[in-house]
Every structure is written in structure tokens, then in C-alpha cells.
Amino acid sequence: MAKVWFITGSSRGLGRSLTTAVLANGDLVAATARHPEQLTDLAEKYPDHIYPLTLDVTNPTAIIAAVENTMEKFGRIDVLVNNAGFGILGAAEAYSGEQVRSQLETNLYAPIAITRAILPYMRRQRSGRILQISSIGGRVGSPALTIYQAAKFGLSGFSEALAKEVKPLGILVTSIEPGGFRTEVFSSMSCAPTIEGYESTVGIRIEQFKSSNFILAGDPDKAAKVMIALVDHPEPPVHLLLGSDAIGRIKQTSTATNEEMEKWLPVSISTDAATP
């Protein structure tokens, strides 16, 4: 039986690659986007399999309506993919309050809200797969992306806790944590105002992202195939890194984290209460 997918941010980047691959695989897709007219070609090619929906993921009322309309259209939701997101580059102190809120609302609050809206249906079905598109930036912090990565760290943590909560209900959760993929995600990032003093950290990082020599390793079409296979796996991972760059950063960071823990171990255990 064909699965029903609910994919946010389906008109661009990784979301577009995944939506296209899912349709080619014969499944059904509720494809949400701010501008669903960008899905016209897919709607013409797969008229009975795609359900384009306008959705601003930061609008709670619109989220409920999109989920209810999908249930009315297809009768079930088997796979949720929270993919919509964006980032703004800059120093932590440089962002406006609105820039901070917008990143947290889109990258953290929205996937939590959409997950919560769909969970009751999956709970009643006693089945479902949830793929949260987090980032290697949800595991390893770096300059120039503090707010974006704060949201992604939160999403990875939410996903890990949720996986333990819903597994007995037949719902399996995976936090997808890609490295750099060849989409427009970095080239389309806007920047907060420049602040003196961050040239060697934030400044260098922004130059790297904006450079024409900045080559990303990941192929979004290959990532889409992995995710399609993942939802059929009986024991999917709670965290799945995608890309050799993501693996390299985790290995490097794990070594540094363990070394730091061992160095400070006496201080850490010194806070235990005395044995009565």
C-alpha cells in the first residue's frame, strides 16, 4: 500500500528532492510550501499523488488546517518530514530580536508544533515515521550560526526524547543530521550586521560560506533515496548523520569532548554529596 507523506518545505532544496523521489516511488505526498505554485510541474506529472498545500509553518492555525485537510484528502499520514527551515549568518549579539525569533520559530517551534499536530493521528493508527531534518549543526556548534544551531540542537534533543516516548505506540523517530549539501541553503542565507571584533571567527566563517570556492559534499537526491529506504527499515537510528563531512566533524568533536571530560573529571565528581 502506498504511504502518505507530509513534507514541509517541499518546493526547494532537500525538500524538493525528497518530494520528487517519493512521488517517483509511487507514494502520496501532502507537499507544503509557502509558494506551492513552485510545485506545478510535479502536480501536472503526478496529479493523483501530490496534494500541494500553502503553509506558513510559523502559523499554528495554518498547521492544524493543513494536517486536517491532509487527513480529509488521504485518510492517514504515515510519514512526517519536518524539512522547512532557514538560517541567518552573523555574530550572536548582532541579530535583531526579530531575526532571533524568526529562526527559532521556523527551525524549532514549527517542527515541534507540526509533530504535535500529527501525533494524535499516528497514535490512533499505532504506526508512523517521523523524520526531523536537523543538521550536523545540531550536534556541533560553529561561529556565525549560533541561533540557527540553537534551534537545531533543540530539534535533535526533542527528537531523541520523543523517540523514547512514542516507540511503544509504533511510531519511530529519526533526527536527520546532514553536513553540507548542494542546495541553495548557504548561498541564500542573509547576514546580520557586521560587528567589530569578530573578524577572525564569524567573519572568516561567513567568507567561507559565501565563497565560490566553497564546495559542498552532499547530493540531495542521494539523501532523498536514503530517507525513502529509512522509513521501511524496522529499526531506524534515532540520529542519522548524512555526508562524510558530518562524520568527520563528529569524530573530531567526540575526541575533543572526551579529552575535556577526562581533564575535568575530578571537578565533575567533586560535586557529589557525601555518602551518609
Q: Does any domain span residue 151? A: yes
Q: What is the pLDDT of residues 213-238, one digit of tens each?
A: 666 778 889 999 999 999 999 999 99
Domain count, the chain: 1
Reading the block at residue 94, the C-alpha cell is 548582532
Q: Which residues lie below 8 Å from residue 157, measured CB to CB, with a gap of 6+?
A: none
Pairing of strands 190-191, 88-89: parallel
pLDDT at 22: 98
pLDDT at 98: 97
Q: Does any domain span residue 71? A: yes
Residues in the chain where the model's pLDDT stays below 50: none
Selection from 25, 53, 26 nearest residue 38 by Cα: 53
Whether 240 and 175 have beta carbons less than 8 Å apart is answered as yes
pLDDT at 185: 67
Reading the block at residue 60, the C-alpha cell is 499554528
Domain that holds residue 223: 4-268
pLDDT at 184: 67
Q: Which of 148, 156, 159, 198 is catalytic?
A: 148
pLDDT at 187: 64
Q: Does any domain span residue 275? A: no
Mark out the alpha helices in the chain (DSSP H runs).
Answer: 13-24, 40-45, 60-74, 97-104, 110-125, 146-166, 204-210, 220-230, 244-263, 265-269
Q: How far is the C-alpha of 30 from the C-alpha of 163, rounded, in Å?
A: 23
Q: Does any domain span residue 276? A: no
Q: How far is the C-alpha of 136 from the C-alpha of 179, rounded, in Å?
A: 5
**Is 45 considered catalytic here?**
no
Q: Does any domain span residue 176? A: yes
CA within 13 Å, CB half, 12: 12
Q: Which of 17, 152, 159, 175 is catalytic?
A: 152
Q: Does any domain span residue 274? A: no
Residue 132, number of CB atoms within 10 A of its CB: 26
**Is 167 considered catalytic here?**
no
pLDDT at 186: 64
**Is 134 considered catalytic here?**
yes
Q: Does any domain span residue 273? A: no
Q: Which of 10, 17, 134, 135 is catalytic?
A: 134
Give the domain CATH number at 185. 3.40.50.720
